[in-house]
Structure 1
């Protein structure tokens, strides 16, 4: 019996997601457990990331390995973030050691823990730990004709630049009379056709949430998996390149409804290096989804103290059952049953329990749930604060978080929540 037949719908869904993801990225996907449903993190099977400051230690540890572990010397195939982060391609391992197993051996040989890491896969509002790799649900049809949460009244402040780093942009939504709040939004065309791919419309939907929350924004959607490449995911080493490109738009706020778990739950060295070499020098705030694992384990970059991690609330103000909590969620906002812009087309569900169901989208709108959609609420509120007060991004972030209410949720503990109405 295959493991896809074992367990409940949650385990089967995790297995569906991971196998679909592997198929979309042939030869580039591995995970840390035997059964797909039990995975914690996903990584490239032949790559490793090393901080430039730790290259000497890495080379010494490689030299100290027992002969026969590696068939050749690891080689650098990319120098990222001004050479502060190096990406190595690993040679064949004689006994078939995985990247995590090789890291264990290198650390035994003297490499400091955390100096090197797998090149983890970052996925759209992802998950792990036997949970999810994507939004809490697949998109659903809706008969509603107005966004929910609704469009805020337009203020009198200056326009604020927001970049949504995501799956790309659906250009027809920007001129569609059914979604007028998306006028003048721009981005990398995700190349939708009548048959919608998994994760199609994700970036467009998020741009809609930002615009509804903060109409005085100039929104650009930076695409990291255009045309379905990557199956909604991107490697850490490629994501920091996308974030660098996002900075070319001079954003005050970046929304990233994506992230990853990591080996041993160590901080992502790719995101940490991006912050240290780029983001901390700028008047810009990164807002990230906390993830949909129902877990307190750190989810990066949301778990960094310099990033605003956002968990999901249901409409009754309780933490959504899928939402991560703890260190990855600085604040919680509505994430359940958002309604916003979505491409017209036919979508075939890929995940248990809805696998094979056909959904037809013909209203320019969809209903969707997940921490993916909590994050742009907070990103929009920060942008709105910048516009109305003319303040720095950091001051706007602090002001928005200061308006959150301290509450307690059974099973989660003390939390900070932003309740509707938001304006």
Structure 2
């Protein structure tokens, strides 16, 4: 990573994030380009994922592979994923230094169907990659505001709806803090914040706050996927589906996932597809995901799946945010720039260019943050509110909310929903 001082702020920021992610995960992070700032996707250097029904075809292709590529047969990992529906293989040493994508290229040349086996991609908080970012569009900023934006939308009637936010974890103090009363009753996996805030601390709490502002009569649980250190802002595909399975134990009708990734050859994620088959297809349950922060139309997963509601970001003037992805990953655009909501008190040392080393002190229980991460829970909350007020199914509520969106004059940009022009 010798190019960390080279280039504009965007390239340096991308490299800063990659350095942090790799350091936090014992070096088990690889990418598809020579310069880290140019990466398209990230992956584990030894893992391959295959759906259970395809393992025979995968192993047959391995048997046809030139014997000089792998020192031994790939080992089936003992970790049980999606009750056996997903299999994780660990590749042995490769004498010629082939990376996982290189091995998959060779297997496909040997007759393996393209996309049947994939790398174990790294999922990022608020999806990103390439020449953009691997995490939120900005680091959190202090705010003197005492009220959230979007504001709390009062709701006097309606049944309770279960929403699970799969994210960094939960800041329990926010549920009893008089400054953030809209979070009363929210629960989740404690991310154990102290006065010195870690990178990405408060991400899940902030998102839970946005959901509650849009739909006060929701039972929100924050399922933390790395509550003690955040793994540098990332988690493997094979691990995120295990956290999503934990989320299912709370019987949610709406799941918010402000995370995702780009993949090898832009092929659909095997892990998310297997999760959909087991836990979403035919169920009264909707997944809402952030579309990503790289200003491009290439697919980000799971937002790009047709069964997932992918959400892009608008600025407060109703224009698509310059960082927001669009195209197949964004079914709808809502406010994602300068969102204000709950955040832990403490000091945060910025770790990304151009603000690297700056100290931000949070003392109001609130922060201002930008990214598609924070647009997604606006839509998740809207869907939950329709369910609460009408008693309809999650799918019906999803369709109702999306029908409110206004088509854009640019056919490459999805429809958008602007909030009231009330700026705090």
TM-score by length of 1: 0.98
In 2, Cα distance between the equivalents of 1:329 and 1:229?
Answer: 26
**What's the CA shift for 1:122?**
0.5
Q: What does 1:333-372 correspond to in 2, within 5 Å?
A: 333-372=334-373
CA distance in 1, matches of 2:169, 2:12: 28
Residues 253 and 286, structure 2, Cα contact 8 Å, conserved in 1: yes
Cα distance per residue 1:321-340 (max 9 Å; x no partner): 00000000000000000010
In the alignment, is the contact (CA less than 8 A) between 2:195 and 2:345 conserved in 1? yes
Q: How far has the Cα of 1:155 moved from its partner? A: 2.9
2:17 counterpart of 1:12 = no
Partner of 1:245: 246
Which secondary structure does the structure 2 equivalent of 1:400 belong to?
helix
Shift of 1:408: 2.5
| Residue of structure 2 in register with 1:287 after alignment | 288
1:38-187 matches, within 5 Å, as 38-77=38-77, 78-187=79-188
Alpha-carbon spacing, 1:385–1:120, altered in 2? closer, same or farther (3 Å): same
Q: 2 CA distance for matches of 1:217 and 1:378?
A: 14
Deviates more, 1:152-161 or 1:324-333: 152-161
Task: Tell whether the 8 Å contact from 2:168 to 2:230 is kept in structure 1 after alignment.
Answer: no
CA contact (8 A) 1:155 1:388 kept: no
CA contact (8 A) 1:123 1:234 kept: yes
Secondary structure of 1:87's counterpart equals strand
Q: What is the deviation of 1:414?
A: 4.1
CA distances 1:341-363 after superposition (whole Å, capped 9, x unpaired): 00000000000000000000011
Partner of 1:281, secondary structure, is coil
Shift of 1:54: 1.3
How far apart, CA to CA, are the structure 1 residues paired with 2:288 and 2:110?
A: 38
The answer for the alignment partner of 1:33 in structure 2 is 33
What per-residue deviation string (whole Å, max 9, x for no partner) do you get for residues 62-115 of structure 1? 111111211111111133212111001111111111000010111111111011
SS of the aligned residue for 1:44 comes to strand
Q: What SS does structure 2 have at the residue aligned with 1:406?
A: coil
Q: Which runs of 4+ in 1 moved over 3 A?
A: none
Q: Separation in 2 of the partners of 1:104 and 1:238? A: 24
Match of 1:262 in 2: 263
**Structure 2 unaligned blocks of 5 or more:** none
Please give the root-mean-square deviation of Cα atoms over the aligned residues, in Å: 1.3
Shift of 1:421: 2.7
Separation (CA, whole Å) in 2 of partners of 1:79 and 1:189: 25
C-alpha distance in structure 2 between counterparts of 1:198 and 1:288, whole Å: 21
Greater displacement, 294-303 / 6-15: 6-15
Shift in Å, 1:28: 1.0
Whether the 8 Å contact between 1:286 and 1:307 is mirrored in structure 2 is yes
Q: Secondary structure at the match of 1:367?
A: strand
Which residue is equivalent to 1:308? 309
The answer to whether the Cα contact below 8 Å between 2:137 and 2:370 also exists between their aligned partners in 1 is yes
- 1:222 and 2:216 matched: no
1:420 maps to which residue?
419
Matched-pair contact (CA < 8 Å) for 1:225–1:231: no
| Alignment-derived partner of residue 192 in structure 1 | 193
- Structure-2 separation of matches of 1:302 and 1:137: 20
Output the CA distance in 2 between the equivalents of 1:201 and 1:364: 10
Gaps of 5+ in 1: none
Distance 2:416 2:302 in 1: 20
Question: What is the rounded CA distance, in whole Å, between the counterparts of 2:374 and 2:413 in structure 1?
Answer: 22
Contact 2:164–2:255 (8 Å) recurs in 1: yes
Aligned twin of 1:391: 392
**Residue 246 of structure 1, CA deviation:** 0.4
1:165 alignment partner, SS class: strand
- Please state how far the C-alpha of 1:168 moved relative to its aligned partner: 0.2
In the other structure, the counterpart of 1:231 is 232
Within 2, Cα distance between the matches of 1:47 and 1:277?
22
CA distances 1:10-58 after superposition (whole Å, capped 9, x unpaired): 1111111111110111131001101011000000001110111211111
Residue range with higher mean Cα deviation, 51-60 or 194-203: 51-60
1:166 is displaced (CA, Å) by 0.2
Cα distance, 1:192–1:381 mapped onto 2, change above 3 Å: same
Count of residues in Structure 1 that have an aligned counterpart in Structure 2: 421
Alignment partners' CA distance in 1, 2:421 and 2:165: 20
